[in-house]
Amino acid sequence: MNVELIVDDVQVTAEAGESVLDVARHAGRDIPALCHHEAVPTIASCRLCLMEVRRPGRDWVQLTTSCDYPVSAGLVVVTDSARIRKHRAMNLELLLRRAPDAPVLRQLAAQLDVTEPRFAPVTDAPLPDCILCELCVRVCSALGYNALAAIGRGAHKSVGPPFGQMEAPDCVGCGSCYEACPTACIPMEDTATTRAIWGRTFELLACERCGRPITTEAHAATMAAKADLPVKSDHLCDVCKRRIVSERLASPGR
């Protein structure tokens, strides 16, 4: 079911149940949300996606995170105001404690005029520059691997292998957590033949045509097992697959 709402004085149509953040972004608004990904459940941890919302029949305006706030008919949304920027800047300063040199945070700091954060940086975090957005944990869980977890609470909270282990025994080395991390804090090192991540080293599969690394052997085996298919004996990267299709389409004997 579709609903009508107002975003920055413009009427927009959205599907009931969508988040205010997704609707505002689809309407062209640039809203920071470092812990948000449309493919995984939201936890509203970074607190940067603040917006002002007012429901029909109510005079008061609520300042709220928008990634976990569902749209509804007649909702009035403001995506930028002095109040929003003030509280967004405060939340950014708290994130800068954990990742003071992260490029994405420095860029937001420039936009919000945060020049001298008031809080001292955290220097003893198990994973430097981690802002505890848990995107790595949620992405890993969505893929069915569950190799990572949020550990501890409060000032002692961290993310990594469950139970504080040094290695992640259920990791398959797919690198999805690395790709999802907004602050690029997850160490992953690739060589021509191996990938090291979360305390483990995996053998890489190479494209048989161009030699480009495709994925890890463990990831390929896991994907094949989930699909109840044998592990392929020939491996091609997406570029070579497209190239082969183009060559076949251009072949005169086709």
pLDDT tens-digit map of 93-142: 999 999 999 999 999 999 999 998 889 899 888 899 999 999 999 999 99
- % of the chain exceeding 70 in pLDDT: 94
**pLDDT mean across residues, the chain:** 91
- Residues 223 and 225: their CA atoms lie apart, in Å, by 5
Give me the sheet containing 50-54, strands edge to edge: 10-15, 2-7, 76-78, 50-54, 62-65
Average pLDDT over residues 185-193: 94
- Rounded (10°) angle between helices 103-111 and 82-98: 150
List the chain domain ranges.
Answer: 1-123, 135-245
- The per-residue pLDDT for range 27-62, each reduced to its tens digit, is 999 999 999 998 999 999 999 999 999 999 888 999
- Dump the DSSP string for 223-249: HHHHTT-PPPSS---HHHHHHHHHHHH
Other Cβ atoms less than 10 A from the Cβ of 58: the count is: 10
Of 227, 229, 232, 198, the C-alpha closest to 214 is 232
183 near 150, Cβ under 8 Å?
Answer: no
| pLDDT on residue 59 | 87
pLDDT bin (cut points 50, 70, 90) of residue 212 is confident
| pLDDT on residue 232 | 59
> Count of residues for the chain?
254
Q: Look up the pTM and report it.
A: 0.86
CA atoms within 13 A on the CB side of 103: 4
- Token pair, residue 232, equals 């392929």
**1-123: CATH number:** 3.10.20.740
